[in-house]
C-alpha cells in the first residue's frame, strides 16, 4: 500500500456510480472497486418509476449510468472482491482478494445480492435451470414450463416477463397472499398461463444434467411440477459481510444517519446495503450523491 486516495468507493450500482460521478466532478483523487457494473439495477425488468423515463429496462438504465460514469477518467478495479475494511491511524484500509488500498474516506455502496432457497438440488442445478434473474436468463427458457419462487415485486416482475414466452408459469409463494404492487398482481392473476400457489414451500429441485422438476409442500401435501427453469426471486441480502467493523442491524444492513455517516468516522455508506427505508433505484442514486458530498465535506474540514 503506497498510495493514499482521498476516497475509495466500493460498488458500482446506482449508489456507487452516482457517488463516483460526484467525486469526479469534485476533482477528488479516488478509486472505484467493484465486482460488476450496474448492480441489481442491471437485473431489473421493466422500470416505470425512474424520473425522466416513462419506461426503461434495467439493463438500459444501467448502461446509461455507465456511460455517464465513463465520461470521466475514473480509476476502476474490476472484478475485485473486498474481504475486509478497517480504520488504522486515521486512515482506512480496504483489503481485497488482490491488494490492500489506503484512503482518507470510504463509501460502501455494495448493494444487495439474491437470497438463496437452501433446498435440496438448488446448488446442484444452479446455472443448469436454476437462476436468480429472469431479465438475464428468461429468454433461455422460451417455450419451456417454468417455476418462479416468490410473491413480492421481484417474483411478480419475473412472472410478467416469463408469462409472455413460457407456455406454463407456476408462481410459488410462501405467504397467504401475494405482496407486491397491486397493478402487477392484477396482471399476473389475469394471465391464463400462470398458476399461483400461495402458502407453498419448495421442498426440492430435481433433474438429470438439467432441471426437470420441482417439488413443493402446500399445507402438508406434496405436489410436483414438470419444469425446466426455476427463477428464485425471494428477496435480497446486503453485501456487507466484509464490513463487520461497522454497526449493522438485524438484517446486516449498515446503519447510517441522514448524512450517510456510519459508526466509524470517515466511512460512509449508501444505497441498498444500508438501513435506508426503501430499496429503490432512484433512492440509491440520491443516497450515493449524499454520501459523496458528506465525504467531500469531511475531507475539506480535516487535516491528514
Q: What is the pLDDT of residues 64-97, one digit of tens each?
A: 999 999 999 999 999 999 999 999 988 999 999 9
d(CA 191, CA 45): 18
Element (H, E) at 189: helix 182-190
The C-alpha cell at 56 is 426503461
Same fold, 4-114+236-300 and 130-232: yes
Give ∠ CA 148-153-159 in degrees, rounded to 5: 35
Dihedral sign (CA 269, 26, 99, 92): negative
Domain ranges (residues) in the chain: 4-114+236-300, 130-232
Q: Which residues of 257-278 are buried (b: 16+ CB within 10 A; e: fewer)?
A: eeebbbebebbbbbbbbbebee
Kindly state the DSSP code that residue 39 receives in the 8-state scheme: G
Q: With 80 as the cut, is the pLDDT of residue 289 above it?
A: yes
Q: What is the pLDDT of residue 104?
A: 97
Q: What is the pLDDT of residue 57?
A: 83
d(CA 110, CA 19): 12
The residue count for the chain? 304
**Percentages helix, strand, coil for the chain, rounded to the nearest 5?**
25, 30, 40
Question: Which CATH architecture group holds 4-114+236-300?
Answer: 3-Layer(bba) Sandwich (3.50)
Q: With 90 as the cut, is the pLDDT of residue 59 above it?
A: no
Q: With 80 as the cut, is the pLDDT of residue 140 above it?
A: yes
For residues 85-112, average pLDDT: 96
For residues 231-242, average pLDDT: 93
Q: With 80 as the cut, is the pLDDT of residue 174 above it?
A: yes
Residue 194 to residues 29, 207, 212, Cα–Cα distance (Å): 52, 22, 19
Q: What is the pLDDT of residue 75?
A: 96
CA 249 from centroid of its chain's CA atoms: 18
Q: With 90 as the cut, is the pLDDT of residue 171 above it?
A: yes
Q: With 80 as the cut, is the pLDDT of residue 12 above it?
A: yes
- Between 59-68, 99-108, 169-178, 193-202, the lowest mean confidence (pLDDT) is in 59-68
For residues 38-63, average pLDDT: 83
Q: What is the pLDDT of residue 233?
A: 93
Q: What is the pLDDT of residue 11?
A: 97
For the stretch 210-233, pLDDT in tens is 999 999 999 999 999 999 999 999
pLDDT confidence band for 114 (50 / 70 / 90): confident
Q: What is the pLDDT of residue 29?
A: 97
Q: Does domain 130-232 have CATH number 3.40.50.720?
A: no
Q: With 90 as the cut, is the pLDDT of residue 135 above it?
A: no
The C-alpha cell at 179 is 405482496
Q: With 80 as the cut, is the pLDDT of residue 43 above it?
A: no
The C-alpha cell at 195 is 398458476
The C-alpha cell at 138 is 428468461
pLDDT confidence band for 263 (50 / 70 / 90): very high
Neighbour-count burial of 254, counting CB atoms closer than 10 A to its CB (0-12 exposed, 13-18 middle, 19+ buried): buried
Mean pLDDT rounded to a whole number for the chain: 94
**Residue 234 neighbours by CB distance under 10 Å:** 20
Amino acid at each position: 500500500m503506497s498510495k493514499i486516495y482521498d476516497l475509495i468507493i466500493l460498488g458500482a450500482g446506482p449508489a456507487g456510480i452516482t457517488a463516483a460521478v460526484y467525486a469526479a466532478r469534485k476533482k477528488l483523487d479516488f478509486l472505484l472497486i467493484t465486482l460488476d457494473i450496474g448492480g441489481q439495477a442491471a437485473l431489473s425488468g421493466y422500470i416505470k418509476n425512474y424520473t425522466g423515463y416513462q419506461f426503461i429496462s434495467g439493463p438500459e438504465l444501467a448502461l446509461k449510468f455507465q456511460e455517464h460514469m465513463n465520461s470521466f477518467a475514473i480509476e476502476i478495479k474490476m472484478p475485485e472482491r473486498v474481504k475486509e475494511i478497517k480504520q488504522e491511524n486515521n486512515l482506512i484500509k480496504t483489503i481485497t482478494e488482490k491488494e490492500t488500498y489506503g484512503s482518507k474516506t470510504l463509501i460502501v455502496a455494495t448493494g444487495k445480492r439474491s437470497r438463496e432457497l437452501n433446498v435440496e438440488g438448488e446448488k446442484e442445478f444452479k446455472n443448469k435451470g436454476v437462476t436468480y434473474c429472469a431479465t438475464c436468463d428468461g429468454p433461455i427458457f422460451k417455450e419451456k414450463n417454468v417455476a418462479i419462487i416468490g410473491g413480492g415485486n421481484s417474483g411478480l416482475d419475473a412472472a410478467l416477463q416469463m408469462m409472455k414466452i413460457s407456455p406454463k408459469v407456476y408462481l410459488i409463494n410462501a405467504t397467504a397472499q401475494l405482496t407486491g404492487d397491486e397493478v402487477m398482481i392484477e396482471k399476473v392473476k389475469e394471465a391464463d398461463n400462470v398458476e399461483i400457489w400461495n402458502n407453498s414451500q419448495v421442498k426440492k429441485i430435481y433433474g438429470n444434467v438439467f432441471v426437470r422438476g420441482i417439488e413443493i409442500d402446500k399445507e402438508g401435501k406434496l405436489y410436483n411440477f414438470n419444469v425446466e427453469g426455476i427463477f428464485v426471486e425471494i428477496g435480497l441480502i446486503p453485501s456487507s459481510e466484509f464490513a463487520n467493523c461497522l454497526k449493522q442491524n438485524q438484517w446486516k444492513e449498515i446503519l447510517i444517519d441522514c448524512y450517510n455517516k456510519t459508526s466509524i468516522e470517515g466511512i460512509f455508506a449508501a444505497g441498498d446495503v444500508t438501513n435506508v427505508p426503501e430499496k429503490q433505484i432512484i433512492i440509491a442514486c440520491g443516497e450515493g450523491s449524499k454520501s459523496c458530498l458528506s465525504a467531500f465535506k469531511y475531507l475539506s474540514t480535516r487535516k491528514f
